[in-house]
Amino acid sequence: MRYTTWMTAAALLALAACGGVTSPGGGGGGGGGGGPVGDITVGNIFFWSVHNSTQNPAVDTIAAGSTITWAWNADGSHSIRSTGTPAIFRNSVVMGNAGDTYSVTLNTPGTYTYDCGVHGSAMTGRIVVQ
């Protein structure tokens, strides 16, 4: 497997947590469509879709019943906080270490918005469940 250098730490952890996803060689993320669906990088200060490179908001579309995983790529206090209706899921606690992860499974179609409980509107994302 190959990894782009910037995402190595987060990707390794995300892959470990998710049971492994083979990324295509050569282009890495390639700026869109190259990464696993449902993986989101938590950085300072952003949410970033591994799948399509959208950021603040990170916008991810998943199938109902799929799992979203956020992975901290650096030390820094952040959380996942639901901001919309329907409520996304349980909110995470504030975590602050590179390599921390948080996952939820969303079973009901809808659009779920979230932010960081520490940084508010500076860190946002949206998950569309189909």
> What are the backbone angles phi and psi of residue 74, rounded to the nearest 5°?
-160, 160
For Cu ion, the closer of residues 119 and 126 by Cβ is 119
Catalytic (active site) residue 123: yes
Q: Which of 10, 58, 116, 129 binds Cu ion (CB under 5 A)?
A: 116
Catalytic (active site) residue 95: no
> By CB under 5 A, which span of 14-22, 83-91, 97-105, 108-116 interacts with Cu ion?
108-116
Contacts of 85 (CB under 8 A, 6+ apart): none
Binding map of Cu ion across residues 77-106, x = CB under 5 A, - = no contact: -x----------------------------
